Chains A and B, each alone.
Chain A
Amino acid sequence: MKAVFMLRRVRAFFVSLNERLGRMRLVIGFALAALLAVGFALMSVYAGPLYNLNDIGGFDNRKAFIALAAGGYLALLMMTAALSRANVYRMALREMIVTAGFLILLTGINQKTHFFIQNTQPLLRAMNETGLAAMTGHTAHVTAPMATFLHLITRGPVYAMYMVKLACIVCFMALCVMAAYAADRGGLGLRAEALLALSLILPCGFMSAACTALADVLTVAVLAASLLLALDKKDCPVMKWTAAALYGLALCGGGVALYALPVYIWLVMKKRMTLRQLAVSLVIAPSACLPAIAGGVPAGEALFSLLAGHVALPEYAAGAPGLMSMIPRALVEEMPAMFQLKRLAQIDTVTNAQKFYTQAHFEQAALGFALLSPAVYGGVFALVCRREGMSGTARAFALTLAALIFCPGVTNGSWIAVGVIALYAIMKERTLRLPACMVLFAISGAAAYPMLGETLLPDIAAFLLCLCALLMTLDVIPTALSVPERDQ
């Protein structure tokens, strides 16, 4: 009898404690965030991934970088607390998961990678010497606003690679936190924490954001934030204006943002956004070219870079499992899956070059396919809009996948978004599990290319897997064979 009484008292105590903690959830979340951030900063002075930074150039620089990293980490934790709709314990758990994820991702901070050394670093160094004008004619295929942003964050004494990587890691993690928030809204319960943890350890996230620092990671994170706000059914003008502004910023980054335009047009047609908001978002990107123009980049080139960032086919994009993977490169050793050829001294690609498939042939074919792609994406978009009975998750998965398959200029950085949505789809919908797993396998296999210049999964195979996944989501490829059924 006494034990039962005690049990009731303990239970009542915990209920009241929960209520009290629930009321102070945000304060506790922020306090815990501050505590963890300070702890991280102190630990980094003596141990951890930021202890031995090879190219930091002295303790003063390291101190500054640790402070920056701790600041980014604190922002992430506060975002986690603010976006968490679960109880205080689960919120704390999420902050722990974010902490673990941050430490894991920072382990790649010292690694110099194929893409960074071949593309980003030459551009950053050229801009360090001659300012923004250096991006003129540069082969890195970044937009003028993105080049400005990269130039801005690498102005300090800290090695540029660390700064770009930190920005990419924070943006990637923000994307994962937003996924957990979406999972809360979708009623996934504890699976939201699982989603957060799995997203943070996605192989493509580690390779593309933490090791390679692909600028597309920044774009997709901003785009995801914009879409999350824009698709919210609440009729809150501030939210919609923020969504529009963020979409404008995403357009500045190039990559796949342009392919989200039909979604915003659809939102305007459904009166969930105003035409003025959309117009403002479309004006932001050209306006963001002004610093580059002032810095000496010809206006035409700066503005065209906004488009070229979407449709150009830089060499490093070859590893992404998109439509462009169907077109072989003129030099076979440039094919991601044929990397071993670079190691054969006997290879003579000049004497034995092909007459009827040169670099010019490759570029002509690639341009044709690059122009074809948006039209095909438009077709898929129309198909998805027209289909009845398709869930929101399936629509989001299909459209994101289609956008990335048919957007020629995207790097593996953008494919992270599909990875996160695939994880969400696996948890949310049984029917999407197989296609989502196929996509996860494909993008994990392909993600090594920007990091190493090599991949063991041929990009054509990765592309075919993703295409099959898209067609399965659209019910074109069935999962069981049946008797032919006449479409009435």
Chain B
Amino acid sequence: MSRQSRKFGAAGLMTLALFFVLSLFMGLHLEHAGSVPAVLALAALYSAVFGGAMAAFVHLRKPDTGEMLFTGAFMAVMMLARAAMLDFVTADYDSFLVHWVAAFREGGFKMLAEDVGDYNLLYQYALLLISKTPLYDLYLIKLLTVIFDYALSLVMMCAAQELANHRAGVPVLCLTLALPTVFTGGALWSQCDSVYVFFIILSLYLLETDRPMRSAASLAIAFAFKLQTIFFFPVVLLGLIHKRYGFKDALMFFAAYLVTIVPALIAGRTLMSAVSVYANQSLGQYYDRLSYNAPNLYLFFPMMEFASSQEFTWMRYIPGIDGEGVNPYLTEPMMKALQNASLYACVILVLIAVVYWLMHAQEITPDMTLGFALFFAIFLPFVMPKIHERYFFLADMLSVLYAARYKNRRFVPVLVVAASFMSYVPYLMRQRPLDERWLALAMLLSLVIVARDLLLQMRENRALFKGVQD
């Protein structure tokens, strides 16, 4: 038996041990676990995620015994911690997800022809699958994200090994799994940010390892999952300018995207409807404020509803305080005007940034791709109005890679992730223990630092090019 096979065997044993622990824990702890077979099935599903992740880890990393035991134990405890939070029900689940799953349960495959919720089709396929399973749907919705939490941590490990050094792999893997935004985003909130970000980081990794076609396909899947993939598009633009992406890769992007809508077309949905989900998503629906807890520029602007303000957390307990707010001047038309004005301002800011980078595209070497990606992952949600707190998730991941690459920039993810995670608290826990305006400033600080680093490197490159020309 080879050493590698023994490690796979050990990973199998660890999975089995976790299965027993999870079975016991879920049976005793989870409110909706159901009958014994249901508990065992649920434990088996979550253990399988761990087992798959361990097998992938052994395959990708080829660790020594100590590293494997440490990582295995870490991953197992993380799974247990996630299992402890599976009962947490958020307003998102109660108001949307449960109804969408119910719609698929009743209508089945044909419901793909309809507009069920405002998520894109890939997520709807996942909900369709979940609706056909006898287990409690919340646990399975969270399972989808947990799968990608582990996949994301593995791809982050690979990316760190590629972008920084081999030594950085395991710390980045562990950090990603334990990062509060990853930890709470899925198992607590049942959101799917780790899914599309997994595909973006995979795309970045494939680009860095000179596999542009696969990178484009991966990016297409990310885009098919979430519109927020656009935060990564400036990197694509840079890749096109530097000829790292070609025409074939662009075709692959569109082809992969079209493949994702095929099941919906089979179910009877029109092509126009299938490709216009994001257009519907972007048009309207929210008109009460400029920022939805996102630690960005617009937290410093007034909000229409008093309930969204920093102070309402405790004032809501006083009878007579109206959460809807009564400012006679801050009306819906005024808020629409503010949103439009901020949208124009955002477009101008983005144009200035993009034009500036395009003008200096030659000074941005492929080596700077990560910094460039991080800049836009922070900059775009920072200047866009109507942004939600979770939209900094990509920035969280890229900042971890940035820290792995530059040893004196390890504080950048501290700023980004702390601001990002603390902005989850008002929605998840209905309180604002820290004034969110501080979080926006922390995010701004990280943006300034990354921009400064990029500009310094560009200046160095400019001097270098000038020296070569002279």
Residues of A within 8 A of B265 (CB): none
When A364-B87, A368-B187, A482-B408 are in contact, do A352 and B317 touch as well, CB less than 8 Å? yes
A374 to B84, CA, bound (A): 15
Bound: A417/B287 CA distance, A: 51
Q: Digit string of B281-308 for contact with A (CB within 8 Å is 1, else 0)?
A: 0000000000000000000000000000
Q: Are A372 and B77 in contact (CB under 8 A)?
A: yes
Q: Is the CB of A332 within 8 A of B429?
A: no
User: What is the CB-to-nearest-CB distance from B162 to chain A, in angstroms, rounded to a whole number?
Assistant: 13
Is there a chain A Cβ closer than 8 Å to B330's Cβ? no
CB distance A368 to B408 under 8 Å? no
Evaluate whether A357 and B428 lie within 8 angstroms (CB atoms) in the complex, with A371-B81, A471-B414 already known.
Answer: yes
A487 touches B165 (CB 8 A): yes
Interface centre among B78, B171, B428, B431 (most CB of A within 10 A): B431
* Chain A residues, CB < 8 A from B409: 484
* Contact across chains for A487 and B404 when beta carbons are under 8 A apart: yes
B318 contacts chain A at the CB level, 8 A cutoff: yes
The 8 A CB mask of B53-83 against A (1 = contact, 0 = none) is: 0000000000000000010011001101110
User: If the complex has contacts A378-B73, A471-B414, are A352 and B319 also in contact, measured as CB distance less than 8 A?
Assistant: yes
CA distance A383 to B175 in the complex (A): 12
Asked whether, in the complex, the Cβ of A348 is within 8 Å of the Cβ of B318, the reply is: yes
User: Does B319 lie within 8 Å of A476, measured CB to CB?
Assistant: no
- A486 to B411 Cα, complex, angstroms: 14
Q: Which residues of A contact B70 (CB under 8 A)?
A: 378, 382
Q: Shortest beta-carbon distance, B404 to chain A, in Å?
A: 7
How far does the alpha carbon of A379 sit from the alpha carbon of B317 in the complex, in Å?
Answer: 41
Instruction: Please determine whether A481 and B449 come into contact, CB atoms closer than 8 angstroms.
Output: yes
* In the complex, B103 has a CB within 8 A of chain A: no
Partner of B88, one of A361, A371, A382, A488: A361
Size bin of chain A's contact surface:
35 or more
What residues of A have a CB within 8 angstroms of the CB of B457 in the complex? Answer: 484
Residue on B nearest A364 in the bound complex, by CB = B88
Residue from B94, B411, B425 having most chain A Cβ neighbours under 10 A: B411
Contact with A along B402-420 (1 / 0, CB 8 A): 0111111111001000100
A478 touches B81 (CB 8 A): no
**CB-nearest residue of chain B relative to A471?**
B414
* A310-368 interface with B by 8 A CB criterion: 326-328, 332-333, 335, 337-338, 341, 344, 346-349, 351-352, 354-357, 360-362, 364-365, 367-368
| B430: interface (CB < 8 Å) | yes
| List of A residues within 8 angstroms of B403 by Cβ | 476
Known: A352-B316, A478-B411, A483-B456. A372 touches B175 (CB 8 A): no
A263 within 8 A of B: no
Cβ contact within 8 Å between A372 and B87: no
Closest to B82 in A: A368
- Minimum CB–CB distance for A177 against chain B, Å: 37
Residues of A near B414 (CB, < 8 A) are 468, 471, 476-477
B178 proximal to A (CB < 8 A): yes
Of the candidates B88, B180, B425, B434, the one whose C-beta lies within 8 Å of that of A461 is B434
**CA of A361 to CA of B409, assembled, Å:** 36
Contact A332:B408 (CB < 8 A) given known A372-B178, A378-B70, A378-B73: no
Q: Is A475 part of the binding interface, using a Cβ–Cβ cutoff of 8 Å?
A: yes
A460 within 8 A of B: yes
Give Cα A460–Cα B434 distance, bound, in whole angstroms: 7
B461 nearest CB across to chain A (Å): 14
List chain A residues, Cβ under 8 A from B74.
375, 378-379
A17 at the interface (CB under 8 A from B): no
A376 at the interface (CB under 8 A from B): yes
Whether B90 and A379, one on each chain, are in contact in the complex, defined by CB atoms closer than 8 angstroms, is no
Max chain A Cβ within 10 angstroms of own Cβ: one of B175, B317, B418: B317
Whether a CB of chain B sits under 8 angstroms from the CB of A458 is yes
Q: Is the CB of A383 within 8 A of B430?
A: no
- The answer to whether B317 and A332 touch across the interface, beta carbons within 8 angstroms, is yes
CB contact under 8 A between A372 and B187, given known A352-B316, A361-B88? no
Chain B residues with Cβ below 8 Å from A375 are 73-74, 77-78, 81, 174, 178
Does A346 lie within 8 Å of B411, measured CB to CB? no
Q: Which residues of A contact B85 (CB under 8 A)?
A: 364-365, 367-368
- The CA of A338 and the CA of B317, in the complex, are separated in Å by 13
Q: Establish whether residues A356 and B430, one from each chain, have CB atoms under 8 Å apart when the complex forms.
A: yes
If A335-B433, A356-B430, A471-B414 touch, whether A374 touches B90 (CB-CB below 8 Å) is no
The answer, among B78, B81, B82, B406, for a CB contact under 8 Å with A486, is: B406
Check B175 against A379 for contact (C-beta < 8 Å): yes
Which residues of chain B from 412 to 461 have any CB-CB distance to chain A below 8 Å in the complex? 414, 418, 422, 425, 428-431, 433-434, 449, 453, 456-457
Main secondary structure of the interface of B (DSSP, over half): helix
- A129 in contact (CB, < 8 A): no
Query: Are A487 and B94 within 8 A (Cβ)?
Result: no
Query: Is A369 interfacial (CB 8 A cutoff)?
Result: yes
Contact present for A484 and B80 (CB under 8 Å): no
A485 at the interface (CB under 8 A from B): yes
Contact A478 B88 (CB under 8 A): no
Contact: B431 with A332, CB < 8 Å? yes
Tell me whether B178 and A328 are in contact (CB under 8 A).
no
Q: Is B183 an interface residue (CB 8 A)?
A: yes
Q: Which residues of B contact A370 (CB under 8 A)?
A: 84
Cβ–Cβ < 8 Å partners of A458 in chain B: 433-434
**Which residue of B184, B418, B430, B434 has the most chain A CB atoms within 10 A of its CB atom?**
B430
Contact of A371 among B80, B94, B314, B418 (CB under 8 A): B80
In chain B, positions 86-101 with a C-beta closer than 8 Å to chain A are 87-91, 94
Nearest to A367 among chain B residues (CB) is B84
Chain A contacts with B in 271-323, Cβ cutoff 8 A: none
Within 442-488 of A, Cβ neighbours of B (below 8 Å) are at: 458, 460-461, 464, 468, 471, 475-478, 481-488
B349 within 8 A of A: no
Across-interface contacts of A327 in B (CB, < 8 A): 429
B188 CB, nearest partner CB in chain A, Å: 6
Q: A379-B74, A383-B171, A484-B409 are in contact. Are A369 and B81 (CB under 8 A)?
A: yes
Instruction: Say yes or no: is B227 at the interface (Cβ < 8 Å to chain A).
Output: no
Tell me if A328 and B88 are in contact (CB < 8 A): no
What residues on B are CB-neighbors of A346 within 8 Å? Answer: 318-319
| B207 smallest CB distance to A (angstroms) | 19
B395 at the interface (CB under 8 A from A): no
How far, in whole Å, are A326 and B184 apart by their CA atoms in the complex?
12
| Max chain B C-beta neighbours (<10 A), residue from A332, A374, A487 | A487
Within 8 A of A (CB), among B172-227: 174-175, 178, 180, 183-184, 187-188
Q: How far is the CB of A93 from chain B (nearest CB, A)?
A: 43
On chain A, the residues within 8 Å of B73 by CB distance are 375, 378
Q: Does B309 contact A (CB under 8 A)?
A: no
B342 touches A (CB below 8 Å): no
Question: Which residue on A lies nearest to B432, using beta carbons?
Answer: A328
For B425, the chain A residues whose CB sits under 8 A away are 326, 328
> A484 vs B452: C-alpha distance in the bound complex, in angstroms?
10
**Most chain B Cβ neighbours within 10 Å, of A460, A461, A476:** A476
Which chain A residue has the least Cβ–Cβ distance from B66? A382
Please indicate the chain A residues that have their CB under 8 angstroms from the CB of B22 in the complex: none
1/0 contact trace for B371-409 toward A, CB 8 Å? 000000000000000000000000000000001111111
Q: Taking A352-B316, A374-B77, A475-B410 as contacts, is the C-beta distance between A368 and B433 under 8 angstroms?
A: no
Shortest CB distance A486–B (Å) = 6
B155 within 8 A of A: no
Instruction: Tell which of B89, B94, B314 touches A341, judged by Cβ atoms closer than 8 Å.
Output: B314
Q: Which residue of B lies closest to A361 (CB)?
A: B88
| Contact of B141 with A by CB under 8 A | no
Bound complex: CA A476 to CA B175 (Å):
13
B164 at the interface (CB under 8 A from A): yes
Partner of A356, one of B84, B90, B184: B90
Per CB-CB distance, the 8 closest pairs between chain A and chain B, nearest first, are A371-B81, A368-B85, A375-B77, A487-B407, A328-B431, A484-B406, A357-B430, A476-B410
Give me 12 A-to-B residue pairs in the complex whose CB atoms sit less than 8 angstroms apart, sorted by A's number: A328-B430, A337-B433, A341-B317, A357-B431, A364-B84, A364-B88, A368-B88, A371-B77, A461-B434, A475-B410, A476-B410, A486-B405
